[in-house]
Amino acid sequence: MARKLFVVDDDLLFAKLLAANLRNEGSLAIELFPSAQAMLERRTEEPPDAVITDLMMPDIDGIELTRQLRASDPTLPIFVLTASTEIGSAIAALKAGATDYLTKPVNVDELMTQLRRAIEERPMREEAATLERTRKAKFSAGAILGDEPAIEEVREFVRRVASIPNSTVLLLGESGTGKNLVARTLHYTSAQAKARFVEINCSALPTHLLEAELFGYQRGAFTDARESKRGLIEVANGGTLFLDEIGELSPELQAKLLNVLESRRFRRVGGTEEIEVNLRLIAATNRDLEAHVRSGKFRQDLYYRICVVTCTLPPLREVASAIPVLADHFRELFNRQFKKNVKRIDAVVIEQLTAWRWPGNVRELRNVIERALIFADGEALLPEHLPPLTAVEAAPSNGHHSTNGYAIPTGLSLADVEKEYIRHTLAHYDGDIQRSAESLGISRKSLWERRKKHGLL
């Protein structure tokens, strides 16, 4: 079927010449329009596959037309024609969303090639646009669920702070209350979303390794430093550095971090050159940082630097009316993941979930629903599918080795426990193979083999 090309130019003679040339080249159905308005009207009857528009036109000009078309169609190929003296406007057209600009006099061969390619690649771009949309939906403040006022405050915090570039943020709250979720959401809803979000757990490495990891090093800085290496601060430049478990940072690194925040510069280990940094630092902890300051474990000046913009996430037991919504969200999530058909959660189950005090907070709720979904076989999630809600106290919360309030029920075979625990660990680290393997104390290869054995691939 012939592809439909709309050409918009108040200089109809030029448009006709262009059209005649393009027709010689092959299978395009071309329609000419003397004004943007005329084209926009026609478009409601029959949408084009591509548009070529002049830049300077009375009433709606090429830039405005591009903007209007782009607003409703993120993948339509739009080419803007411009005299070579109007490069400034050509750039404005690109910013408005034009696919490309062409300078007059037009090289017809070149234009044809571009048109063909843009039309052919459109389905691919459509796919990418859909992905982008779902990524955005996933990372809107709306990803933080629950209609309790205390949770609405968290969403409002994210919305407000995301728009302030480079502001340092401190996230407080018990284990499993959503600090990682909030950190990611902040990054991916900010204008810096395209730059990197880099996450590191300060309790995961001994000081000297963490220092090298954060600051990078110059070749020869220490015996093993055969090559220079960029640190995470450099990698996150322009984006976000998320320092989880900031309370575990050693005094030495607290001093270095304070220095980075104050001077917005740093040196690699063994390096002489000062490197400028421009990033948002998000720090998180489930500890009482103020108590750490009082006991001298955490520097007061660093604390004051990072505590200006603080958000404290509520423990789940204090926002219990959010439990049904969250439970339902996790039901849908694991329903899809396990390809089950569990359509609702029984009222008695909701009652039991709401009465529990959730020492492991939202993460514990997620784990409980995940477990229940494994055992559910009908359309409803029933009380007998729930694992026993036993009082496993919240993790001793030295982060890395926390148990997150996860209780392994008795009555499972050893193989089932292994399978369960691997699944649980993968979920805890959001599918991060490296971290899961480390936490389980096995190699990535061994983890892969066990997942294969248990049908977890």
Ligand X SMILES: Nc1ncnc2c1ncn2[C@@H]1O[C@H](COP(=O)(O)OP(=O)(O)OP(=O)(O)O)[C@@H](O)[C@H]1O
Using the rule CB under 6 A, is 180 a contact of ligand X? yes
Taking the CA atoms of residue 294, residue 295, residue 298 and residue 304 in that order, the dihedral angle to the nearest 10 degrees is 0
> Using the rule CB under 6 A, which residue among 82, 99, 203, 286 binds ligand X?
286
Using the rule CB under 6 A, is 173 a contact of ligand X? yes
Say how many C-beta atoms besides its own lie within 10 A of residue 113's C-beta.
Answer: 12
314, 174 contact by CB (below 8 A): no
The amino acid at 446: S
Question: Smallest distance, Å, CB 363 to Mg ion?
Answer: 9
Please say which residue, 79 or 406, places its beta carbon nearer to Mg ion: 406
Burial 33-51 (b: 16+ CB within 10 A, else e): bebbeebbeebeeeebbbb
Question: Smallest distance, Å, CB 365 to ligand X?
Answer: 8
d(CA 397, CA 323): 23
Please say which residue, 151 or 246, places its beta carbon nearer to ligand X: 151
> Using the rule CB under 6 A, which residue among 48, 62, 77, 146 binds ligand X?
146
Using the rule CB under 6 A, is 155 a contact of ligand X? no
Please say which residue, 35 or 310, places its beta carbon nearer to ligand X: 310
Sheet holding 169-172, edge to edge: 197-201, 240-244, 280-285, 169-172, 310-312
Instruction: Give the end-to-end CA distance of the chain in Å, rounded to a whole number.
Output: 43
Please say which residue, 81 or 200, places its beta carbon nearer to Mg ion: 200
Q: Which of residues 345-404 bind ligand X (CB under 6 A)?
A: 362-363, 366
The count of residues interacting with ligand X (CB under 6 A) is 17
Using the rule CB under 5 A, is 180 a contact of Mg ion? yes
Say how many C-beta atoms besides its own lie within 10 A of residue 199's C-beta.
Answer: 19
Question: Smallest distance, Å, CB 299 to ligand X?
Answer: 22
Using the rule CB under 6 A, is 114 a contact of ligand X? no
Please say which residue, 32 or 389, places its beta carbon nearer to ligand X: 389
Please say which residue, 32 or 333, places its beta carbon nearer to ligand X: 333
Binding segment (CB under 6 A) for ligand X, from list 28-36, 37-45, 168-176, 331-339: 168-176
Q: Which of residues 33-92 bind ligand X (CB under 6 A)?
A: none
Using the rule CB under 6 A, is 144 a contact of ligand X? yes
d(CA 179, CA 313): 7
Binding segment (CB under 6 A) for ligand X, from list 19-27, 176-184, 304-312, 371-379: 176-184
Residues 6+ apart with CB under 8 A from 283: 168, 169, 170, 171, 242, 243, 246, 306
Taking CB atoms, the residue at the shortest distance from Mg ion is: 180
The count of residues interacting with Mg ion (CB under 5 A) is 2
Please say which residue, 173 or 231, places its beta carbon nearer to ligand X: 173
Q: Which of residues 289-348 bind ligand X (CB under 6 A)?
A: 326
Using the rule CB under 6 A, is 212 a contact of ligand X? no
Question: Smallest distance, Å, CB 208 to Mg ion?
Answer: 24
Using the rule CB under 6 A, is 176 a contact of ligand X? yes
Using the rule CB under 6 A, is 287 a contact of ligand X? no
Please say which residue, 54 or 174, places its beta carbon nearer to ligand X: 174
**Site residues (vs Mg ion, CB under 5 A):** 179-180
**Site residues (vs ligand X, CB under 6 A):** 144-146, 151, 173, 175-181, 286, 326, 362-363, 366
